[in-house]
Structure 1
Amino acid sequence: MTWIHACTVQQVPEDEGFRVPTTPPIAVFRVADEFFAVGDTCTHDEFSLAEGYLDGDVVECPLHMARFCLRTGKVLAPPAIIPLETYPVRRDGDDLFVDVPERTDDR
């Protein structure tokens, strides 16, 4: 795993998401004083979850209303059936870092 600089705290408004332009993209969410990072693409139909609706630690895809737990990636409402990838988040002052898998040449 590799820690990457994802964004600053200020780039993630409370109860909203921020899309990190990695490959694949990651979404960072702020819920109260906690930060969560998940795969940004809805597993049901390719759509950015950073644009989704938050209800506590649950994000809802605005396209077809699939819901996911930001803590575990677990699917909470169909039509999605595949969970999201989750990533550890570390805060260092005003900077947020996400621990992502190392890429290999065959990806």
Structure 2
Amino acid sequence: MASVRVCEVDDLAPNQAARFVVEGVPIAVVKDSAGEIFAIGDTCTHGDISLAEGFVEGDTLECWAHGSQFSLLTGKPLSLPAYEPVPVYRVELLDGGVHIDPSVTLTV
């Protein structure tokens, strides 16, 4: 599967997440305060909650419903109640667009 353009870089607000469904895969895309862009699985592993509705702080995304925090770098949960990681996807920036291939996950 090839990468898919999900949005423009300028469409993403700093320190906020946006939800995209790419080839049927829900993905939360985050631009941090330094302008770096991350993509992780959008579904909290503690409950069927969209992480894109959560809170961004540094390199973490916090689930709004139960407070579990996930690393944007590794997908690993940093606090309970979640204990399972979410997938992390490679982000490519091409011609001002954000591209993601949902079939390629990164591991740390």
Superposition TM-score, scaled by structure 1 size: 0.89
The structure 1 residue matched to 2:91, chosen from 89, 92, 106, is 89
Structure-1 separation of matches of 2:6 and 2:87: 16
8 A Cα contact 2:26 2:43, kept in partner: yes
TM-fit CA distance, 1:93? 2.7
Aligned length: 102
TM-fit CA distance, 1:99? 2.0
Give SS of 1:90's match.
Answer: strand
Runs of 4+ in 1 over 2 A off after TM superposition: none
Give SS of 2:52's match.
Answer: helix
AA aligned to 2:99 is F
Partner of 1:79: 81
Partner of 1:105: none
Give SS of 1:10's match.
Answer: helix
Give SS of 1:54's match.
Answer: strand
**Gap runs ≥5 in structure 1:** 103-107
**Gap runs ≥5 in structure 2:** none
| CA RMSD after TM alignment | 1.3
Structure-2 separation of matches of 1:29 and 1:95: 14
TM-fit CA distance, 1:87? 0.2
Superposition TM-score, scaled by structure 2 size: 0.88
The structure 1 residue matched to 2:43, chosen from 28, 41, 44, is 41
TM-fit CA distance, 1:2? 2.5
